[in-house]
Amino acid sequence: MSNIAVTDAAALPTAAKPFLTRLGAGFVNRLVIIVPYLWLLFFFLIPFVIVFKISLSQTAIAMPPYTPVLDFSDGVSGFFAGFRDLNFDNYVWLTQDALYFKAYVTSVIIAAISTVLTLIVGYPIAYGMARAPATIRPTLLMLVILPFWTSFLIRVYAWIGILKPEGLLNQLLLSLHIINQPLVILNTYTAIFIGIVYSYLPFMVLPLYSSLEKMDYSLIEAAKDLGCPPTAAFWKITFPLSLPGVIAGCLLVFIPAVGEFVIPDLLGGSQTLMIGKTLWNEFFANRDWPVSSAVAVILLLLLTVPIMLFQQAQARSQEQGK
Amino acid sequence: MKSLGSIRRDFAPWNDPNAKPYIQFDNVTKKFGDFTAVNNLSLTIFEREFFALLGASGCGKSTLLRMLAGFEEPTSGRILLDGQDLRGIPPYRRPVNMMFQSYALFPHMTVENNIAFGLKQEGMPKPDIEKRVAEMLKLVKLEQFAKRKPHQLSGGQRQRVALARSVAKRPKVLLLDEPLGALDKKLREETQFELMDLQQELGLTFVVVTHDQEEAMTMADRIAIMDKGEVMQVATPAEVYEAPASRFVAHFVGNVNMFEGKVAERSANTTRITGASGAQIVVENGGAAAAPNADIVFAIRPEKIKVSSKKPADAVNALEGEVYDVAYLGDMTVYHIRLDDGQIVRASALNAARVTEDPLTWNDRAWVSFRPDAGVVLAR
């Protein structure tokens, strides 16, 4: 009997141990995931809920400039009573004024055109970098990243000096007798394209470079060996294999470009219409926080679509194990 | 020197003075900056030949192959294929195809599309492409994998796809860069014979680059042994092994014992050599290297040396020593004998009967003996 008792006692900790380990491991795993989730909760979800709530409020000459404020000055019942004053009037307003619709559409179009232009400019750069001798690649990479060391705002301001009627570009073209009259570039959509392509080029070049650089050059040789001239080999092998980089680069340019405010404001002048500028005007010029919040919420929803496409593309490429 | 036959019966165009060379390297030199990869090399390869370029890494064999494929242009000299000078012809217009060491399969295409790639470039009509692809898949036994992507295949299967893709266009010459290098030993041995069968079946000229002498010996009609951008010997596998042209070749292919010495006496049929420590070796017909008084090396393969505990009565060449090492390998036993002059001789004995008791063991006195025609005399 005593023998059995001893075995039981000895068996207990060994049986309990895996359970505790499992609990411990599960807890640690969950803790690791909790950290980024907490971050997103505090710095993304809660601010978004606040913005969303403001978008459902009405503008008011007060501090803060909207009602209801939803606080606990009238107790818990007062907090919940405030919910009755929330409505979707601001969203209805966005559909009634054509300005907002036009601003959204032009923003998406400008962002799309800029993205294509950035791709056209960025691809040869990334390709050249990836095919450069391995010894100078880090230097080239550094040169691409270098502009980030200067303030983005200052670099956009510098473009005013280049593009304005009496600016560097016009002076150069006039002195070379290529043109007789200064070109009007500043305060047009062209200036916005130039600004976006310039500012976002590294975001295009870096993912393209990383996908082109890891490509096995013997694939191109194999294509040539099988009778494929170099241009055809590019379109049949290099480009399809760099698609993950193309997609990543395009989304990294397109998403921030849609909501871009600084470039259209500084280079586009007052004639150009983009949603980022509209939002700024609503917020600061009109002090209409609820409408500008509604604009922001819609913008976010618009951008969620390409982000989801991006994630899908990533999941697919991960599935392929390449 | 007696000529040794090829691994294929009745196929020896290199012995026929009227045979037209198919691939011809004429004084080809290739330099990369200061480095000379291929140095003034001349070589001829015949139609339907299975030709191997054998050498250590960096000997220039891959450069030679890449020049044939068109990825590199010779710095000087010319390469002719079927009488046509290949200079200036880009790889995509050359009637040769290459199987890459890394296989270089297109990862975004299915097995089928990989094989069809070259045919599509040729502008072959679609039904013909389908027929040819099906034929190729059958040839490499991958019918059920047609729709797979390369990353869903095993290493051996990928190798087959690469092979099918490179022969699909029926090139005049198939170039194979270390075709079996990435396979494990067992698969490699199987595939060697499959490659030989394939070459026979398709009637193509194969040029294979390898660093594996066993691979070259098994598959090739002739082997070119290369060192530092130069060809050391071009011969059939048997000739390379039995009659190496130089010390380097003798060392490079298989195991060999070398005795340094001097030609003491030369008669019509025999040459007598005095070894460095006074040992006398008699060799039948020493060849060109065996001029009187010349400093030479006598090279002999381990399996041609007999080991015995007593001096064989009829032996022309017999040297005495002590057993230094014994290695029982199952099919044979390898002895290392330290001769009385200090030289270590490697001898291997086939275990034709079941070994039940060690005939010779460590530190036993032993005699090594060999026939006068068992080795070759080489210049030092």
- DSSP, residue by residue, A285-306: IS--HHHHHHHHHHHHHHHHHH
Task: Specify whether A263 is located in the same domain as A209.
Answer: yes
Strands B222-227 and B230-235: antiparallel
Residue A4: the pLDDT is 43
Task: Specify whether A259 is located in the same domain as A114.
Answer: yes
Provide the CA A6 distance to its chain's centre, in angstroms: 65
Give the separation between CA A146 and CA A127, rounded to whole angstroms: 19
Q: What is the pLDDT of residues A196-220, one digit of tens each?
A: 999 999 999 999 999 999 999 999 9
CB contact under 8 A, A229 and B100: no
Task: Specify whether A189 is located in the same domain as A278.
Answer: yes
Residue of B145, B150, B112 lying closest to B131 (CA atoms): B112
Residue A1 falls within a domain, yes or no? no
Give the global pTM.
0.80
**Residue that terminates a domain, selected from A84, A103, A138:** A84
Residue A6 falls within a domain, yes or no? no
Task: Specify whether A260 is located in the same domain as A312.
Answer: yes
A79: CB partners within 8 A, 6+ apart: A70, A71, A72
Closest by Cβ to A216, choosing from B91, B97, B102? B102
Residue A14 falls within a domain, yes or no? no
Give strand pairing partners of B25. Answer: B43, B79
Q: Where do the H-state alpha helices sit in B8-154?
A: 61-69, 111-122, 126-139
Counting the structural domains of chain A, the total is 2
Residue with the two structure tokens 């599960």: A26
- Whether the CB-CB separation of B377 and B296 falls below 8 Å is answered with yes
Element (H, E) at B257: strand B257-266
A215 in contact with chain B, both atoms CB, cutoff 8 A: no
Give the separation between CA B159 and CA B154, rounded to whole angstroms: 9
What interface predicted TM-score (ipTM) does this complex get?
Answer: 0.84
B9 in contact with chain A, both atoms CB, cutoff 8 A: no
Task: Specify whether A205 is located in the same domain as A235.
Answer: yes
Residue A12: the pLDDT is 46
Burial A75-103 (b: 16+ CB within 10 A, else e): eeeeeeebeeebeeebbeebeeeeebeeb
**Which of A219, A224, A225, A318 would best serve as a mutation to test chain B binding (most B beta carbons within 10 A)?**
A225
Give strand pairing partners of B378. Answer: B297
Q: What is the pLDDT of residues B292-303, one digit of tens each?
A: 888 888 999 999
Q: Where do the H-state alpha helices sit in chain B?
A: 61-69, 111-122, 126-139, 155-167, 185-202, 213-219, 237-242, 247-252
A227 in contact with chain B, both atoms CB, cutoff 8 A: yes
Residues of chain A with pLDDT under 50: 1-15, 322
CB contact under 8 A, A227 and B93: yes
Contacts of A222 in chain B (CB under 8 A): 98, 100, 104-106
Task: Specify whether A33 is located in the same domain as A132.
Answer: no
Half-sphere exposure of residue A302: CA atoms within 13 angstroms, side-chain side: 21
Contacts of B108 in chain A (CB under 8 A): 240-241
A241 in contact with chain B, both atoms CB, cutoff 8 A: yes
Task: Specify whether A164 is located in the same domain as A92.
Answer: yes
Token pair belonging to A294: 């509604």
B152 in contact with chain A, both atoms CB, cutoff 8 A: no
Residue A242's alpha-carbon distances to A126, B92, B244, in angstroms, are 11, 23, 51
**Residue that terminates a domain, selected from A58, A84, A110:** A84
Task: Specify whether A95 is located in the same domain as A73.
Answer: no
Q: For residue B275, how many other CB atoms are within 10 A of its CB? A: 18
Residues of chain B with pLDDT under 50: 1-3
Query: CATH 3.40.50.300 occupies which residues in chain B?
Result: 13-95+171-248
CB contact under 8 A, B91 and A240: no
**Which of B32, B89, B99, B100 would best serve as a mutation to test chain A binding (most A beta carbons within 10 A)?**
B100
Contacts of B91 in chain A (CB under 8 A): 221, 224-225
Q: Where do the H-state alpha helices sit in A237-288?
A: 239-258, 262-267, 275-280
Closest by Cβ to B71, choosing from A221, A226, A241? A221
Query: CATH 2.40.50.140 occupies which residues in chain B?
Result: 255-379
Residue with the two structure tokens 């095993």: B154
A133 in contact with chain B, both atoms CB, cutoff 8 A: no
CB contact under 8 A, A322 and B71: no
Q: Which fold, B13-95+171-248?
A: Rossmann fold (3.40.50)
Give the separation between CA B72 and CA B202, rounded to whole angstroms: 27
Could you list the residue range(s) of the whole structural domain that residue A254 is in? 88-319
Residue A84: the pLDDT is 79
- The alpha-carbon gap from A233 to the nearest alpha carbon of chain B, in Å, equals 10
Residue B162: the pLDDT is 95
Residue A228: the pLDDT is 94
Token pair belonging to B359: 């005939």
Residue A28 falls within a domain, yes or no? yes
Omega cis (within 30) before A64: yes
Task: Specify whether A31 is located in the same domain as A100.
Answer: no
B132 in contact with chain A, both atoms CB, cutoff 8 A: no
Task: Specify whether A151 is located in the same domain as A193.
Answer: yes
Query: What do you get for the CA distance between the two ends of chain B, in Å?
Result: 19
A231 in contact with chain B, both atoms CB, cutoff 8 A: no
CATH number, residue A236: 1.10.3720.10
Residue A24: the pLDDT is 65
Give the separation between CA A61 and CA A53, rounded to whole angstroms: 18
Residue B352: the pLDDT is 83
**Which of A215, A221, A226 would best serve as a mutation to test chain B binding (most B beta carbons within 10 A)?**
A226
Name the burial class of residue B100, with classes exposed (0-12), middle (13-18) and buried (19+) by CB atoms within 10 angstroms of its CB: buried
Give the separation between CA A44 and CA A47, rounded to whole angstroms: 6
Task: Specify whether A255 is located in the same domain as A204.
Answer: yes
Residue of B202, B224, B203 lying closest to B213 (CA atoms): B224
CB contact under 8 A, A226 and B118: yes
- In chain B, the residue whose alpha carbon lies closest to the alpha carbon of A242 is B108
CB contact under 8 A, B102 and A221: no
Task: Specify whether A199 is located in the same domain as A122.
Answer: yes
**Residue that terminates a domain, selected from A37, A67, A84:** A84
Which top CATH class is B255-379?
mainly beta
CB contact under 8 A, B90 and A321: no
Residue with the two structure tokens 């011969």: B235
